[in-house]
Structure 1
Amino acid sequence: MNGDWLIRGRDGRLGVYLPTGDAVECRAEYVPGGAWTPARRVGGDQVVEPPPALGQGDDSYTHLVSWRPTVRGEHGLVHSTHFRPRLAALDWVPVGHPDRTGARTGPPAVAVDGRGRAHVFVRARRGGVGMVAQKEKGGWDPWRDLKGGDVGDELAAVTGESGLVELFASVDGGLLHWRQEEPGAVPVLEEAVETPVRPGTLRALATSAGAGTLFYTDESGELCAWRPGGRPVAVLASAGPGPVAAVRCVLDGHDCTLLAQRSTSGRVAFAAYPTECESAGAWWTESGPQLPADAVVSLARDAADRVVAATYAPSTGTLRLTRRKDEPGLALEAWREV
């Protein structure tokens, strides 16, 4: 999944979005901190193909984007909005294709600007990036060509504290960064940086009004952080092969960035450091049981603003959660299956 799939809804309940073979399913808490509902299908009966992209705005509405088959050999992107985890999501609505028609071009990404408008990004057939955005009063703008060349399949979209949308993408030997110059503007390719990037490891997090932070693993296995305007910084050695999950939280009175990743041992590894102060150092601490190789990790804050971590393994269908204890440091409750 591209984006955080563990979310806190407008009503404080946590929800998760889990892809199946031809759908996205949602589960949610009945009450904050309570038992969980059974899974139900998102967006009606249309067939969609994983991986979905997820984004959440300041209004706490969740926006989902996925590919669906159209005619033989072709696909189109569809979008759904979920207002509250325990309500039914809106039906999937077609939003088109970056090349008008054609096959899938890569996993989509979505970010929601400060006015609640979804921005959908996807690799175009010729290697650039296409974007389509919601209009303020309903409907969708035309597809835009954001340029770029030889862009990898994976994109990472994020909305900064300013409400402006940013996009990161990897290219051979480097990274690209697009950013809106003002609300409603088309994001502009602003910066490129040379750095070796391991495919499938991009994850963006809003860390300041100026720019988001992109986390990725380089070819030597170092987990790195990059904020446009500076150089990438190695944070610590990657715990495992996949992307990290990231969330900002207050730990012992300090604004911190918490990272989580499935480690090579199969357990979940956590590391934290003061936000945007990578020089302070960080180290991994493992937690929970060993997980299957396909397990993914997500982080959020619950209705009481406590950190919550979730893991989901598609091969077993197992969803597990843990919460931070009400005590100093990053002590976690026992993991439980829900």
Structure 2
Amino acid sequence: MRRKPAGPMGASVKDGRTAEQYRGVASGAARGDWLTRGKDGRLTLYAPTDGGLLRWTETTVGGPEWSGPHFVPVAGLTHLTVVQGANTYVHFLGRRERTGADGKRNVDIVHAVQYQTGLAFSDWRSLGNPHKEPEQSGPPAAPVGAVAQDGTVHVFLRGAHGGLMLRREAPNGKWRAWEDLRGGGIDARPAAVALADGRIEVCAAAETGALVWRQSEPGGDFAGPRGFSLRPAPGTVAALETGPGRATFFWTDAESGGAAAWRAGDWPVALGGTPAERPYAVLRTSLDGYDCVVLAYRDQDGAAVLGMGGTENEAAGFWWYALAESCQGAPALGRDGRGRVVMALIGTDGRPRVARQEDGDGLALTRWDTLGS
């Protein structure tokens, strides 16, 4: 059984933190699903900051007011990834660097959980380092994650050999040892997706094209990697379930510079747009009664871009809208408790901004609200 936190952790930013934390300034955008919706319907936004992370939470379902920022200290945190399971628990994966008594730099992967909107985090637990000789292999890459339908957390990262490493929970809630899923020459930002049939799939850009790992059954071993002669640009791959047990992968095509969508067994479909600098934020939702995919990304000039098209009907056209907002890292997409699409980004000033779907046809966004400090 997974243990829930015994008491509150973290503190109000106004209770004696640094000046940067007091102003609610993020050091960039987290990776993964850093805009989440809890079981109570309220949205929460998470962002890394010096010495830990910041959290803002809607005060009522659908907003527009937010409480926060709430500061959660995590000494030595260098990268933050947020993933959410079907049970709405929010999982935090981090890469942590600390200096030991011998003066050497120690790097490990850490994990914590938030079980309910706005409440305490669990203790941060070290998942160790998959490298037996870290001094020779170098520090591990930043983690990515996926939570299976049964709540099992899977942590993936690029290993020192350039392949994919995995650590996951066992049925009793303990963690298994690191597993080597093989492969080589992969990018440091693989994309993992948890499917409704209980399986997980992973796709990574690689020197030879694209590599894909799949579970044959829920909780089973990962088959692969299987290589495909495709050209995803490193650092841009994202994944979304677009049909029962079926994943679609999105990336920037290294040759054309535009977005592409691909499913195993099909040819990639060009979506147009400009080159993305980070992975796409992905969301499946209903727009005007149609099953649609919404994408958002940061282009190479630092501007946020929003796009939409039919789910698994990409060839019918994809529509892109350049937004008058610059951002750090990748934006985030979600739906609020009233079913509206919500887009979040971290501005160049380190402050989070949020816009919601306006009433009416299509997908027009309201004005951008900057969350308070």
Q: Percent identity at matched positions?
A: 35
Identify which of 98, 107, 117 aligns with 1:85: 117
Give the 3 Å change call, closer, same or farther, for CA 146–286 of structure 1 in structure 2.
same
Classify the secondary structure of the residue corresponding to 1:258. Answer: strand
Instruction: Specify the alignment match of 1:187 in structure 2.
Output: 222
1:163-242 mapped onto 2 (5 Å cutoff):
163-219=198-254, 220-238=256-274, 240-242=276-278
Is contact 2:78–2:96 with CA below 8 Å preserved after alignment?
no
Report whether the alignment pairs 1:20 with 2:45.
Answer: no
Q: Which of residues 132, 151, 166 in structure 1 aligns to 2:186? A: 151
Offset at residue 222 of structure 1 (A)? 1.6
Q: Which runs of 5+ in 1 are unaligned?
A: none
Q: Structure 1 residue 112 and structure 2 residue 153: aligned?
A: no
Q: 1:40 aligns with which of 51, 60, 70?
A: 70
TM-score normalised by L of structure 1: 0.92
Distance 1:121 1:331 in 2: 35
Q: Give deviations 1:67-120, integer Å, cap 9, x for gaps.
A: 112542331111011112300111210112222452422121100001001000
Structure 1 residues 21-70: Cα deviation after superposition (integer angstroms, max 9, x where no partner): 3322221112212321212234xx43143321221111011111111125
Aligned residue for 2:176, secondary structure, equals coil
Letter in 1 for 2:176: D
Query: What is the distance in 2 between the residues matched to 1:231 and 1:54?
Result: 31
| 1:135 equivalent in alignment to 2:167 | no
Any conservation in 1 of the 2:205–2:233 contact (CA below 8 Å)?
no
> Which one-letter code corresponds to 2:77 in the other structure?
E
Q: Could you tell me how far apart the structure 2 residues matched to 1:101 and 1:83 are?
A: 35
Matched residue type, 1:327: G
Change (3 A) 1:99 1:295: closer
Distance between the aligned counterparts of 1:62 and 1:48, measured in 2?
21
- Give the aligned partner of residue 320 of structure 1: 353
From 27, 32, 52, the equivalent of 1:3 is 32
Partner of 1:67: 95
- Take 1:77 and 1:101, find their aligned partners in 2: how far apart are those partners? 15
TM-score between both structures, scaled by the size of structure 2: 0.84
Contact 2:200 2:214 (C-alpha < 8 Å) held by counterparts: yes
- Aligned mate of 1:305, from 332, 336, 339: 339
- Write the distance in 2 (CA, Å) between the matches of 1:162 and 1:48: 37
Contact 2:248 2:262 survives alignment (8 Å): yes
How far apart are the structure 2 equivalents of 1:257 and 1:301?
13
SS in 1 for 2:315: helix
How many residues get paired? 333
> Residues 240-319 of structure 1 correspond to what in structure 2 (within 5 A)?
240-263=276-299, 267-287=303-323, 289-292=324-327, 294=328, 296-313=330-347, 315-319=348-352
Tell me, in whole angstroms, the C-alpha distance in 2 between the residues paired with 1:285 and 1:239. Answer: 14
List per-residue Cα deviations over 1:213-260 (Å, max 9, x = no partner).
111112230211121222322111336433321101100111100111
The one-letter amino acid paired with 2:248 is T
Q: Deviations over 1:298-333 (max 9, x none)?
A: 1001111110011113x4121111111221111221
Partner SS for 1:279 = helix
Q: Contact 1:246–1:299 (CA<8 Å) still a contact in 2?
A: yes
C-alpha displacement of 1:280: 0.9
Q: Which has the higher contact order (CA 8 A, sep 6+)?
A: 2
- In structure 1, distance between residues paired with 2:150 and 2:129: 24
Structure 2 residue identity aligned to 1:297: P
- Take 1:285 and 1:150, find their aligned partners in 2: how far apart are those partners? 34
Report the Cα distance in structure 1 between the residues aligned to 2:301 and 2:181, rounded to whole angstroms. 40
Q: Identify the match of residue 131 of structure 2 among 76, 99, 108.
A: 99
Tell me the residue number matched to 2:58: 29
Deviating more after overlay: 301-310 vs 277-286: 277-286
